Amino acid sequence: MKLKYFNQFVFEQAEGSEVKDPSVYTDLQDDLKEMIEKSLKTSDQKTSEDFIDAYLRDSEKTQIEGLINDSDIYEFYLKYRNNIDGILSEINFYGEKPSDMDSFGLYDYIIVGTKKAIREVLNMLNK
C-alpha cells in the first residue's frame, strides 16, 4: 500500500504539471476576468488578451486591479481557497519546499501559492 500526500487524498488527483479540467474553476475565472476588465481602464493594453500576455510576461509591471497588495491576494485566497488549493494540488505546488520559493512564513506561502494559482488560471484563459 502506497501512502499519499494529504492533498492528493482530498482532491483524488495524481501529481501533474497542469490543470486537468479548467471548467471546474469557472467562478474563479469569471472573477479574474472582471478584475482584468477593471484593470484595462488603467493600463496601456487594449484587450484582455494583451493584458493577460503582459501579466504572464511580467507580473510586477502589469498588475491586476484588486490583487496588488498582499492583503488583497490573501482575501482572494480566502474567497476561493478550495479552487486555489485544487489548482495548486494539480500542479504539484505542495511537493515543492517553501524555502525554494523564498517563502519563509505561512502568510508568505499563501501569497506565493495564490499568485501561482492566478498565473495558472490566466494560462487557462489565454488558451
Q: What would the mean pLDDT of 79-97 be, rounded to a whole number? A: 93
Confidence tier at 9 by pLDDT (50, 70, 90): low
Calpha distance 85→97 (Å, rounded): 16
The closest of 78, 72, 67, 82 to 33, measured between CA atoms, is 67
Confidence tier at 6 by pLDDT (50, 70, 90): low
Supply the pTM of this predicted model. 0.79
Calpha distance 85→77 (Å, rounded): 9
